Copies of this chain bind each other. A is one copy, B any other.
C-alpha cells in the first residue's frame, strides 16, 4: 500500500508508537533497519512494514512511503530505509541463568546488557518496573536484535527474587565487601545476577536477598565500571566457569 501524505491516519498512528504510552496501549513497537526487521520477521513478531524501497517484498502488510514520512518515523539521523511494526516479546518464563536489573536508566546500557546476556547464555532478563522501557528505540538498536532471543520479564523484582526456585544462587555486586568474581566457581549452579542502577547501585532491600556479593578487581583510581560493562563481565565469568 502506498502512502504519500504525512497527515495520513496510519502514519499518525505509527508516529505515536515512538511514545511509551502508545507502545503499552497497542502492545507494539517500532524496529529500524533491515537486519533487525528481518530478525523480528524470523521470530514471528513482525506485524507490518514501512519502507521507501519498492523492491522490498515481504509476505506481510507493507506500506511504501516517501522519504519525508520515513524521516518522521525514524529515530536516526540518517533515516532507516525499513521500519518494522513488531509485536512485543511474549516469552516471559523464568529459565536458565537470570540477569536481574534494579532500575537501569540508560537505554544504551539496557540494550548492551541484553546483547551480552544472549552472548553469555543467560536465558532470562528480569527488570524492575522503574527500569527504562525496553521498547525505546535506543534500547532496541543497542540490542542488535538480541531482544528476540531472550525471555524478558518486567515486574516487582523483590517479589520475583523471593519466589525464585531454591536452587538459584542470588549474586550481586559490592565494591567494598564483594569476593573477586575471578575466584568463584559457578559450575553446575543456577545463577541470578542482580545489577543496580548506574548512580546508586542495588537497593538495600534487594541486596539483602542475595546469597553472595562479588566484585571485579580494578585499579583504585577507578571507582566503578559502566553498568553495561560490569554486567557483561560478570555474565562472561559466570558463563565461562
Contacts and interface: CB of A to CB of B under 8 A. Distances in A.
B232 A116 contact: no
A3 interface: no
Interface in A31-60: none
A115 interface: yes
A184 interface: no
Q: What copy number does this chain have within its complex?
A: 2
A236 B237 CA distance: 11
A121 B219 contact: yes
Contact of A233 (B118, B222, B232): B232
Interface residues of A, number: 30
Contact of A228 (B144, B146, B223, B229): B229
A225 interface: yes
Contacts of A120: 218-219
Contact of A229 (B116, B149, B182, B216): B116
Interface centre among A115, A146, A218, A226 (most CB of B within 10 A): A226
B112 A226 contact: yes
Interface centre among A120, A222, A240 (most CB of B within 10 A): A222
Nearest to A150: B221
A152 to B, nearest CB: 15
A32 to B, nearest CB: 15
A217 B235 CA distance: 12
Chain A facing B: main interface SS:
helix
B115 A226 contact: yes
Given A217-B240, A240-B217, A118 B232 contact: no
Given A182-B240, A217-B240, A240-B182, A115 B232 contact: no
B146 A116 contact: no
Interface in A193-224: 216-219, 221-224
B112 A222 contact: no
Contacts of A19: none
Interface string A162-190: 00000000000000000000100000000
Contacts of A222: 115, 118-119, 144, 146, 149
A67 interface: no
9 contacts: A112-B226, A115-B225, A115-B229, A119-B218, A119-B225, A144-B223, A146-B221, A216-B236, A233-B233
